Structure 1
């Protein structure tokens, strides 16, 4: 009876301790549809729960600014940022957010300009026509495409008849494919995914320009997150390998070969581009 009593007390204590463990909250910039973001998050969240030994919850946000504010104000513990949203959070928090990992692909990321207009063969052919970016706070869907347009001597507010913001990369593809705009700028990874999944016909919607490479997305935490948790989280991402079923699924959905360590210095070029474009 004593043994049963002690076991019951131990189970109650363990249950109480588990209940007191705070939920680890994760968010991501809404650069794709809510359905796609949820699909990408599900296996990663399950994996992180096992690695951290606590409940992990994905908390979607309505826009890029909300993702920044959520991490800066510690409403979430981990955020998937683009390079520009990381810079915004870094500035907004006074340097109190830290990028821990990025995909290997993010070390040399690119944007593409696409068009379904048969008269548009190059960037210069878009002059006087309608152009769509993604979200105003998107690195690959706005900031860096704008940066490279300016370098090519094309001021978006002067060179185009109208500049629109679709809100997300997949929405930009849809706007171009439907002929609502003559051209659109977006993340090369989303473009390649749409082509691979036959959601867009590259014979009808074509890439007319690919930008030079730059640093982009990362997973970022608040500096107040305990170092032990931060280290465990970082290692969990670095341990993802494509030769295991779990790792292969997560990496495929994240469109990553593997994750590598990241640092704030990687995004100095993004910050300079944002300041140069008057966006920061």
Structure 2
């Protein structure tokens, strides 16, 4: 198994183009790459807050996982809070852009699109007790497929999740091209499964020869017994990437945004369903982050892939 530490030099690109792409409806006078809080007349203070978690796995499972936190969020804000079960990244981004989504966790790869096209302002991620955070992209195969190295993927069928996913598409595309000179269509066939769990199950059932996935998702699935370790073989592990970004719609009132931030940072994980689920990844708290700093490597990967944060 090869582990590759992705560097800016390895990709030989700059993130400048991807960095300065806020939609015309937003302003960034501070230079922090996220939308400014608008004037008081344009701020909103809804009676009901809508929360959505990234559609990585079964939304019904995560409505229950997040229930303790959402009760805490309701207490801190004095608002009713509802869980919105989104089915894909595009729907989640569109919901925030249209003003129907107020608080959300966007997956790593879709966070830049949410920031630039929907006015998403991320401020926290999950971390371990020691403050460490993140996950790795792994390329996995079934042990009986005869694939022992990345080079063995030539002529095979490789599953990605969706084009907005960092570990499910953008990072492996950049790495396979930059480090191995391999391109989809030319060197291997591709399929899009729609989600990490679909890709992982597909490899375990030998529907795909290999797949690029987030190992945080795979770890939870292995722990729950959804797939067996004997059916999974890792041939590549990336550097560590930031995980799901949590934040708010930029136009919520300043007081409400502060209350929401306080809800994340004051949440006691002990004995909660959130702890039960995410301790599988070693996560135990919410810590502060900034999009400008912590998503720099993701913007660089996007630039390497020619991704443009244009909004339709």
Which TM bucket (shorter chain)? Answer: 0.7 to 0.9
Structure with bigger helix share is 1
Judge conservation of contact 2:59–2:86 (CA < 8 Å) in 1.
no
Q: Which residue of 1 aligns with 2:305?
A: 277
Greater relative CO (CA pairs within 8 A, separation 6+):
2
Judge conservation of contact 2:60–2:85 (CA < 8 Å) in 1.
no
Give me the whole-angstrom Cα distance separating, in 2, the residues matched to 1:110 and 1:21. 37
Residue 176 of structure 2 is aligned to residue 113 of structure 1: no
Q: Which residue of 2 aligns with 1:150?
A: 177
Distance 1:253 1:196, change over 3 A: closer
Give me the whole-angstrom Cα distance separating, in 2, the residues matched to 1:253 and 1:204. 22
Give me the whole-angstrom Cα distance separating, in 2, the residues matched to 1:79 and 1:108. 18
Residue 146 of structure 2 is aligned to residue 122 of structure 1: no
SS in 2 for 1:185: strand
Shift of 1:107: 4.1
1:185-229 CA distance string (max 9 Å, x none): 111111111222222221222122111112231112111111222
Give me the whole-angstrom Cα distance separating, in 1, the residues matched to 2:224 and 2:239. 25
How large is the Cα RMSD of the aligned pairs? 2.0
Shift of 1:181: 0.9
Shift of 1:76: 0.9
Q: 1:164 aligns with which of 175, 187, 191?
A: 191
Q: Which residue of 2 aligns with 1:188?
A: 215
TM-score (norm 2): 0.76
Give me the whole-angstrom Cα distance separating, in 2, the residues matched to 1:251 and 1:226. 30
Judge conservation of contact 2:106–2:114 (CA < 8 Å) in 1.
no
| 1:1-280 equivalences in 2 (<5 Å) | 22-93=47-118, 96-104=119-127, 107-116=133-142, 117-153=144-180, 154-160=182-188, 162-242=189-269, 244-246=270-272, 249-255=273-279, 256-265=283-292, 266-280=294-308
Deviates more, 1:84-93 or 1:125-134: 84-93
SS in 1 for 2:110: helix
1:23-55 CA distance string (max 9 Å, x none): 011112311123323232323222221222210
Q: Structure 1: any 5+ residue segments left out of the alignment?
A: 1-19
Give me the whole-angstrom Cα distance separating, in 1, the residues matched to 2:105 and 2:117. 16
Larger radius of gyration: 1
* Number of residue-to-residue matches in the alignment: 255
SS in 2 for 1:158: coil
